[in-house]
Amino acid sequence: MIQAGNELFPHTASAALVQPWFRGQSRLGAGFCVTRLRIILSAVSIVPVLACALGCSADKQEEPTVSVQVVPVKKATIEQTVTSEAILYPLAQSAIVPKISAPVKAFYVNRGSRVHEGELLAKLESHDLAAAAQDNQGVYDQAQANYAIATASTLPEEIQKAQGDAEAAKLALDAEQKLYDSRQDLYKQGALPRKDLDQAAVALAQAKSQCEIAQHHLDALMAGGKQQELKSAAGQLESAKGKYLGAAAQLNYSEIRSPINGRVTDRPLYPGEMASAGTPLLTVMDISSVVARAHIPQGQAALLKMGDTATITVPGVSGEDEPVEGKVTVVSPALDPNSTTVEVWVQAKNPKERLRPGTSVQISILARAIPNSIVIPQSAVLTTPDGASYVMLAGSDKKAHQKTVKTGVRQGDEVQILDGLAEGDQVIASGAYGIPDNTKIRVEAAQNSEKQDSDKTGQAPAGQGAEKDAK
């Protein structure tokens, strides 16, 4: 039996493995044993073959395949926007400060009340001011009466006599002038002797002298008496008028009126408390429109101008995150010396008054629109360690190829490519991060959002055509 086993198992290891089993089966038939041994021999001979196969497959590794999503490069109009944090201010604001110190007699508005320009808001105690105004009004009335008497009174006798003399002298002068003129005509005709003409000339000269003396006398009396009296009455009238107007103004200061339309936002005192001159008593704000003031870097501010379209958004507030449209109203011509930025104002209407002054908001200003721009998703743009931008293109050889690009304006999730791509190129939008150049890729189907977009536009989702080409 041992010899037979060695013939069946020429290999020493195989014989050593089978001989103990062969001895245990010695009482069975020889044919049966031989058959069983052949089956075992076949199983043992297969083991080295399997080990060799496994070792060979481990030595040869397959090239890895990366699943990616691709989008086509397209042309579109991209908008360059300038965004910044800002603070809201009212369109107009007035901190009403009383000009006199007096207790508050009454308030006619509360905090939050809507007021109009000129409306009476509060009244201060003013009994003393009313009395002073009344006293000064009496003095003013008296001065007016004195001035009327001074201007309408009869002239003094001396002045009256001087006026009569001046008028008589003037009449005598006129008569002598007519007499001289008539005699001169007769003398020229030869109807009057020379002696009569000379007498008329002497009489005219005397009348002229008397008229001048009478007029000078009247002027002297008027300048030294009546004129000064009239000036004194006029001065007293003006002084009384000024005091009266001052007292009336002080009385008016006790009435606090609104200088603008708006809402009362602050009322720190209560009736009966002392209002101090120079301390705000009420604050009124016009919030029918609001102004968002932002400080923007100089380079971005250079792109802006008055009238540019803008939006104001209140971040993080439920129900108020809807953008409000506005326009740029101020672009400061000078830099802020503290921050070296440019102050920009964006004004927006606030009909429902849901935008409140003092709120931190975000503004977005449309600086310019660039049509026919090469545009790809922002997620497709990668950055090298040295700061250069590149994308991974999906090639027709089912491999990813690295391509250096130059980026431009960014808008939301899209970025403008200035150089490096052409319309229709297939760029990897998802799954390109960290894969080397010439990596084998497998294009996945578009996401649900892209499918929805394709349903709206009637076009295939981005990357579907490339996936078909790859398959």
Write the CA distances from 282 to 205, 257, 270, integer angstroms.
Answer: 82, 10, 11
Task: Identify residue 144 by its one-letter amino acid code.
Answer: Q
| 318 within 8 A of 354, measured Cβ to Cβ | no
Q: Which fold has domain 126-253?
A: Helix Hairpins (1.10.287)
Task: Identify residue 403 by its one-letter amino acid code.
Answer: K
Nearest to 416 by CA among 425, 407, 424: 407
Nearest to 216 by CA among 178, 165, 285, 276: 165
- What's the confidence (pLDDT) of residue 84? 93
Q: How do beta strands 309-313 and 360-377 pair?
A: antiparallel
- What's the confidence (pLDDT) of residue 288? 93
Q: Could you tell me which residue, 374 or 197, shows the higher pLDDT?
A: 374
Among the ranges given (150-159, 337-346, 424-433), the one the predictor scored with the smallest mean pLDDT: 150-159
pLDDT in tens, 117-169: 999 999 999 999 999 999 999 999 998 988 887 776 655 666 777 788 888 88
**DSSP code for 6:** H
Helix, strand or coil, per DSSP, at residue 382: strand
| Residue 218: half-sphere exposure toward Cβ, Cα within 13 Å | 18
Query: Can you spell out the DSSP letters for 62-107?
Result: PPPEEEEEEEE-EEEEEEEEEEEEEEEEEEEEEEE--SS-EEEEEE
Q: At what angle do helices 127-152 and 227-252 cross, to 10 degrees?
A: 160
d(CA 47, CA 340): 81
d(CA 402, CA 385): 14
pLDDT in tens, 225-234: 566 777 788 8
pLDDT band with cut points at 50, 70 and 90 for residue 223: low
- What's the confidence (pLDDT) of residue 328? 96
Query: What residues does 399 pair with on adjacent strands?
Result: 440
Tokens of 266: 């602050």
Tokens of 400: 């990813």
Q: Against a cut of 0.85, is the pTM above it?
A: no
- What are the residues whose beta carbons fall under 8 Å from the beta carbon of 18, sequence distance 6 or more? 5, 8, 9, 37, 40, 41
Please calculate the CA angle 382-383-388 and round it to the nearest 5 degrees: 125
| 292 within 8 A of 345, measured Cβ to Cβ | yes
Question: Does residue 172 have a pLDDT over 80?
Answer: yes
pLDDT band with cut points at 50, 70 and 90 for residue 334: very high
Nearest to 389 by CA among 373, 408, 370: 408
Query: What residues does 344 pair with on adjacent strands?
Result: 294, 331
Q: What is the dihedral of CA 213, 217, 219, 224, to 10 degrees?
A: 160
Helical (H) or strand (E) element with 374: strand 360-377
Structure-token match 């009335």, residue found: 141
Question: Does residue 469 have a pLDDT over 90?
Answer: no
Question: Does residue 465 have a pLDDT over 90?
Answer: no
Q: How do beta strands 274-275 and 102-107 pair?
A: antiparallel
The mean pLDDT value for 95-114 works out to 94
Q: What is the dihedral of CA 257, 259, 264, 266, to 10 degrees?
A: -80
pLDDT in tens, 19-75: 444 444 444 444 444 445 455 545 444 445 444 444 444 444 566 788 888 888 888
CATH of domain 284-369: 2.40.30.170
Helix, strand or coil, per DSSP, at residue 351: coil
- What's the confidence (pLDDT) of residue 365? 93
The mean pLDDT value for 361-380 works out to 89
CATH topology of 67-75+371-470 equal to that of 126-253?
no
The mean pLDDT value for 168-193 works out to 86
Highest mean pLDDT (candidates 150-154, 216-220, 435-439, 458-462): 435-439
Q: What is the Cα 433 distance to its own chain's centre?
A: 39
Helical (H) or strand (E) element with 13: helix 12-24
d(CA 405, CA 32): 79
d(CA 52, CA 49): 5
| Residue 5: half-sphere exposure toward Cβ, Cα within 13 Å | 19
Among the ranges given (138-147, 213-222, 339-348, 452-461), the one the predictor scored with the smallest mean pLDDT: 452-461
- What's the confidence (pLDDT) of residue 456? 40
The mean pLDDT value for 96-122 works out to 95
Write the CA distances from 141 to 123, 146, 202, 205, 286, integer angstroms.
Answer: 28, 9, 57, 52, 43
CATH of domain 67-75+371-470: 2.40.420.20
Alpha helices, H only, 253-337? 298-301
What are the strands, taking DSSP E only, across 267-340?
274-275, 282-297, 309-313, 324-331
| 367 within 8 A of 304, measured Cβ to Cβ | yes
Nearest to 394 by CA among 432, 420, 423, 422: 432
The mean pLDDT value for 108-120 works out to 95
Highest mean pLDDT (candidates 152-156, 362-366, 400-404, 417-421): 362-366
Query: 370-382 burial by CB neighbour count: b if 16+ within 10 A, else e?
Result: eeebbbbbebbbb
* Domain positions in the chain: 2-59, 67-75+371-470, 126-253, 284-369
d(CA 298, CA 82): 12
Whole-number average pLDDT of the chain: 80
pLDDT in tens, 232-286: 888 888 999 999 999 999 999 999 999 999 999 999 999 999 999 989 999 999 9
Question: Does residue 206 have a pLDDT over 60?
Answer: yes
